[in-house]
Structure 1
């Protein structure tokens, strides 16, 4: 049975969210592994702790507040480590640090491992800066183990500030005058500094063993299988598609097979994709037609185009012996060998379906498409793309694109073809045009600054900034666009490339980038930016209890609407159901609601209940999931998904807990989507 189009899209969007969470932790993987080792944890324990953090952040939607807060993520991981921390014998740094007391260990790890400032560590540890410095001093002395000389005790408190260059000038002068006259302090400070340098070098050179990644991979695989079984009462094929697509993405996260690669299913007709034809005609790229054959299959690399945004590789797979079409097995059959030559951008890792599939209908033994890799590092001379293919998947005859393969429940049973197809692809990095903007506008009262547009050969990238709320907690916004229009062409949104977070500025602005179709060969006459939707997390908090002495349903006002708590079944008192009626005044789409056990249980508790939603299109028309217009979604016209019912069935430590009756609930905010009917002319400062 094929999964409904709506379910396919929901699954892909869910994959995006989960993949974003994975990317957040991937950027800190080496540090977190070293922190885990320094708590005396083994590989399996660290993998379990990291797994818990990934799914805690994903499931509880805490990412709205945490995804850009590296300090809070590290603190979350260390909090999970505390429960399994134990001293380990040995002379290596992780073993020595594991034998410190908790406050000394955390101060050392946060300052010299994570590189946080004393002020930031003070905030994370919730103690004054002077106490953090004392923890650091004791921790470093513990590592040094009874030095022969300990210097003058009254000056010990200055060591940390002096070496961190944060000491006040008057104290610095007095301290340096004393050191000049005191051989004991000279030697003590020198050995203290040497220990710090060795400690920092340890963290910089830490590595993650391959076996650890395999353990983490196994845990996530098992969790996804569990979630698949849990959701049997839902659209069954949908979760299978999620698992398949997630495995595709997560392989790139946990193995060295490929890094930050995203797979673009852009099929074109008869080798004459319009954009590819423009490349050839303008002298950008050349026809390569590199081939490799094995096991009766020929893979041809047509060409490669590189710019500062991405690196596109156009390919063709031909089965020379059988009447079948083959696709690359991105989970187990593809690797970017020289990934060191490519930028690791963390967030640029997504799945995109091509906009044309006609070219894959004409010949039943040929599949055509393109890979999109990260941009090549600027200082690489004579760049090559070294690709290795080792396994292919046989597509069903009725499938037009590879996306359809991952949207079915049959991928595990599909036939595999093994072999070795290796390529070294020459490529030249093309220059882009940067068009400066500097426009400030408002979208539904949200201050937005349009910074610049990068006109690259393969894509058009808009850099923009959002001024998010200064109050705590602040709202989190995702601004989605429809297109960039010129007089002759509309460059559509790259619909599955979620806006990439770039950086936070000190003035309260946060910068993002969004990709569109290429406008490289177009005249930029009367350019106009068209908006689509504004998605936001509103941090409206509410705590409430179930009072079994009062009648049901019990009503709680929230977000302009109501939450109705129904009476639990007499024979199943642990099952709690809440309804959220649709009303004109209701502001929320979905609610981030947890039981007190989930909120405070540090991963020991989770809800295994169900959720029901209805869908509203831009015109306010309500429709069912199976009626979702997949073609419209591909154009970026996402409907609103509104929760109307949510139930709670508690699990404790992975097992059903029917006797656990949740009576207290915490809401930390809600999601809402606003359809936009707005566009703005782009006023370039340079042309």
Structure 2
């Protein structure tokens, strides 16, 4: 009997696994031995016991193989068996060696916390898959990851002195994994910018995560490990079938390499521009192909009537940009991929750069290409940059989103469609060029360092630094109108501003502004045009609160009359204040805290309502805005009209509203011209 395993896009997994022959299962474990060995070590801490673990797991997989169902991936099915065998073997608590200190600390965690860390960071499974394996709810996943890393940090001896704000600690994992929605992310980064406790706490936690990831990356399997395992199962192998299977697999791999070699070498030089102009309908991808920055892949996978095609991949130090096409073969629906939900990359922390975040790419339903056919969507997604110049991304997609429109052309109720699409995507990372600018200018009384220019295939980056020496006024972010390089204008990416986590010069807080790619490699100068700055103004005021009073009540602040609409006490106390008059208003949003009689032990949940106003005075409801409208607005400002806070605790009594200051936007019309100095080419 031969069982067909639906892993056609994964060359590591055998295309056929024999129920009668155990050799194919041994081969599969050998290909995956590194991640499974590290997983076993985190449980057992002893090589002899891990050999026993592999031996038992191989026998159990072979025994259960006829029961395997195609509704789940083969690897996840094997993993569930592997974990069960792990739990049956006793843990070795004798680890003392310094190089194994992280594994020793892991073994001191509770079972679910340890398993969540090793599954997501050692084995690389998605949160959803880990939750399914461990039978926990999605809400428990973040709690287990956060508490697990907190205890791991403590177990390593450096977690006692860090105390971040409880309400923001809940967001640490989502922030580090780029899962926060944009408004929440802005609020979080503004808080982190001002709160030294949270800065230290988050940095320490991130260092623990990075050390953990680096330990896993450098963790090696003993050279003779699998040989010892093979010896124990060799009597169950069939030598003739082993040689035949090996010859077939080598032939398949050789044929695949030959086809790839022919395809990559055929269309080069000047003919590629003509060829792709006639054959590639996606205009954006066409330019990349004509510039020889990528190649056609044509990888396909189909599940539940939905066919996904990976058309091409463009990779550099900024991101790994994947162009894809999704076809509904049964109906007239269009689907997109959401990188924050339903995708999983095998060994992501091993092959991709940690402490980086993919670029946000909203759906584009207005393009001519996506209006052409009702059942096909052409999209792109951004992943982290790969570490090496050559890599293979093993991408597993478990969910796509069905795009729906309402009468206002906004996207609502995007329905998830589950399936199983797997791809092995070959990646070649292209080079970038960095230029030093090192020019210090003054904006709104604050020193700004125009630091460096990065010319990369997928984008143009301007790195700048802020030296906020004025406590009463701080620049939080600069918005640029455009860059001009070699008489070419690069428009800004509205979703591309990012904080630089690796700060080499502590005098400056470094940021990166992203612009569209210009495909330039050399330049002597750059023109920088400013659009606006987002400011934080310090202006302290305290307003007493009393739930026994009748509300609303008003107070004056920053030239405006603000209404306190509600003050309620109890297990979930509430404070709501508002100001719907935005004309000539000095502030856009208030920075504040609610002080309670019980002190700082209570957690707070903040929310807001508001409108967006462009430079011409046109107003938009903040909750109804769509990416397409946002992209065409001219210099938008975000005014909060209602700000509310819920304070959770056993019994909470709001005492006062403490306002620290506010945020506002100032428009600019400045331009500077800078000379460039080459730092590094071909990075």
- Structure-1 residue corresponding to 2:659: 667
Indicate if the aligned counterparts of 1:347 and 1:500 stay in contact, CA closer than 8 A: no
- Structure-2 residue corresponding to 1:334: 343
1:566-588 Cα offsets, whole Å, 9 max, x none, are 7979xxxx876645475887532
- Shift in Å, 1:415: 6.2
- Structure-2 residue corresponding to 1:462: 462
1:487 and 1:467 map into 2 onto residues whose CA distance is 30
Tell me the secondary structure at the aligned position of residue 596 of structure 1. Answer: strand
Indicate if the aligned counterparts of 1:575 and 1:661 stay in contact, CA closer than 8 A: no
2:527 and 2:591 map into 1 onto residues whose CA distance is 36
More moved, 321-330 vs 439-448: 321-330
2:281 maps to 1:272 = yes
- Shift in Å, 1:32: 1.9
Tell me the secondary structure at the aligned position of residue 324 of structure 1. Answer: coil
- Structure-1 residue corresponding to 2:119: none
Indicate if the aligned counterparts of 1:442 and 1:448 stay in contact, CA closer than 8 A: yes
1:611 and 1:630 map into 2 onto residues whose CA distance is 20
- Structure-2 residue corresponding to 1:282: 291
**Structure 1 residues 605 and 354, CA, compared in 2 at 3 Å: closer, same or farther?**
closer
1:566 and 1:397 map into 2 onto residues whose CA distance is 35
- Structure-1 residue corresponding to 2:387: 377
2:462 and 2:648 map into 1 onto residues whose CA distance is 46
More moved, 575-584 vs 332-341: 575-584
1:288 and 1:278 map into 2 onto residues whose CA distance is 16
Indicate if the aligned counterparts of 1:301 and 1:313 stay in contact, CA closer than 8 A: yes
- Structure-2 residue corresponding to 1:498: 497
1:336 and 1:56 map into 2 onto residues whose CA distance is 17
Tell me the secondary structure at the aligned position of residue 344 of structure 1. Answer: coil
Indicate if the aligned counterparts of 1:453 and 1:460 stay in contact, CA closer than 8 A: yes
Indicate if the aligned counterparts of 1:56 and 1:603 stay in contact, CA closer than 8 A: no
- Shift in Å, 1:683: 2.7
1:67 and 1:348 map into 2 onto residues whose CA distance is 21
2:440 maps to 1:443 = no
Indicate if the aligned counterparts of 1:337 and 1:387 stay in contact, CA closer than 8 A: yes
- Structure-2 residue corresponding to 1:319: 328
Alignment coverage as a number of residue pairs? 460
- Structure-2 residue corresponding to 1:536: 535
2:370 maps to 1:343 = no
More moved, 304-313 vs 624-633: 624-633
Indicate if the aligned counterparts of 2:360 and 2:495 stay in contact, CA closer than 8 A: yes
- Shift in Å, 1:673: 1.6
- Shift in Å, 1:519: 0.9
RMSD: 5.0
Indicate if the aligned counterparts of 1:502 and 1:513 stay in contact, CA closer than 8 A: no
1:642-668 Cα offsets, whole Å, 9 max, x none, are 3445566x5533x8x7xx663422112
Q: Which runs of 5+ in 2 are unaligned?
A: 1-141, 176-183, 218-276
1:242-270 Cα offsets, whole Å, 9 max, x none, are xxxxxxxxxxxxxxxxxxxxxxxxxx998
- Structure-2 residue corresponding to 1:652: 648
2:611 maps to 1:588 = no
Higher strand share: 2
Indicate if the aligned counterparts of 1:326 and 1:367 stay in contact, CA closer than 8 A: yes
1:53 and 1:540 map into 2 onto residues whose CA distance is 27
1:426-476 Cα offsets, whole Å, 9 max, x none, are 2221111223212222222222111211111111111111112275x8735
1:548 and 1:584 map into 2 onto residues whose CA distance is 31
Q: Which runs of 5+ in 1 are unaligned?
A: 1-23, 78-109, 117-200, 208-267
Indicate if the aligned counterparts of 2:545 and 2:567 stay in contact, CA closer than 8 A: no
2:150 maps to 1:32 = yes
1:513 and 1:32 map into 2 onto residues whose CA distance is 30
Match of residue 618, structure 1, among 615, 618, 621: 615
Indicate if the aligned counterparts of 1:307 and 1:431 stay in contact, CA closer than 8 A: yes
If asked which structure has higher relative contact order (CA below 8 Å, sep 6+), I would say: 1
Tell me the secondary structure at the aligned position of residue 303 of structure 1. Answer: strand
- Shift in Å, 1:385: 1.9
